[in-house]
Amino acid sequence: MGMLISNEPDFMIHGVLKYQLFGQDFWITTTTIGMWIITAIILILAVLANRTLKKATDQPGTFQNVLEMAYEALQGMTSGILGGNARRFINYIGTIFVFILFCNLSGLLGLRAPTADYGVTFLLGMFTFFIVNYQGIKNRGVRHFTSLFEPTPILFPINLIGEIANPISISLRLFANLLSGVIIMGLWYGMMPIFTNIGIPAALHVYCDVFSGAIQTYVFCMLTMVYINDKME
């Protein structure tokens, strides 16, 4: 959430470095740096996981046990919603689950959670939107579009708005919950006396970063699977 010891609350996105491309000004922001750090951590863990599983034994170590438990939990979560189609989407759901979870937990490292930036969550929502509609066209063909007129053509505007609102709603839900945590922690570190910034905010971090972050990760992935399953025959 950004551990700041100052007299002013600070929970904004800041520009770190400006550069020009094709005559336009672009900024590398705190969100960009946070995503670079999180991506690097995920890649390192992925390499270690790959090496560990290649040398998997019948008597696994701690890391192998954690990996196997995580995969079984992911498999159970996807199978519970997607059924026999879980195998097709488990890689995507697993990827966004790990990415969103690490972004949400990044406040524990003193970073501003990238998922508290709507530019990040909106793109995640759009990925879901494209996958859902691709599956709808692939599995239903023309019926993917004609279903918007069911059960009566009068409901077409409402059905269309519902389809468009899905990615916006899940992206806003994730963004708003993480931003609220960033604001709470920013206000605490910025307005409370310095001696209260040691130890006391731990409970707030547990709720805002760990508990809320894990719940919102699960909700985003669960809704993504529900939308995909709705388009499967």
Reported pTM: 0.85
For 122-138, how does the pLDDT look when each residue is reduced to its tens digit (9 = 90+)? 999 999 999 999 988 88
Q: Given 3-state DSSP classes, what are the helix, strand and coil percentages for the chain, each rounded to the nearest 5?
A: 75, 5, 20
The C-alpha atoms of residue 7 and residue 191 are separated, in whole angstroms, by: 6
Dihedral angle at the C-alpha atoms of 166, 170, 173, 178, nearest 10 degrees?
-160
pLDDT, mean of residues 100-126: 90
Residue 3, in any domain of the structure: no
The structural domain count of the chain equals: 1
The pLDDT of residue 1: 45
Using CA atoms, how far residue 223 sits from 123, 173, 195, 228, in Å, is 15, 11, 42, 9
**Residue 26 near residue 18, CB atoms below 8 Å:** yes
The pLDDT of residue 8: 64
Q: To which residue do tokens 């019948």 refer?
A: 58
Give residue 185's pLDDT band: very low, low, confident or very high (50, 70, 90). confident
Residue 65, in any domain of the structure: yes
Dihedral angle at the C-alpha atoms of 79, 175, 215, 124, nearest 10 degrees?
20
Nearest CA-CA partner of 82 in 220, 217, 216, 228 = 228
Note down the domain range covering 65: 15-230
For 1-13, how does the pLDDT look when each residue is reduced to its tens digit (9 = 90+)? 444 444 566 667 8
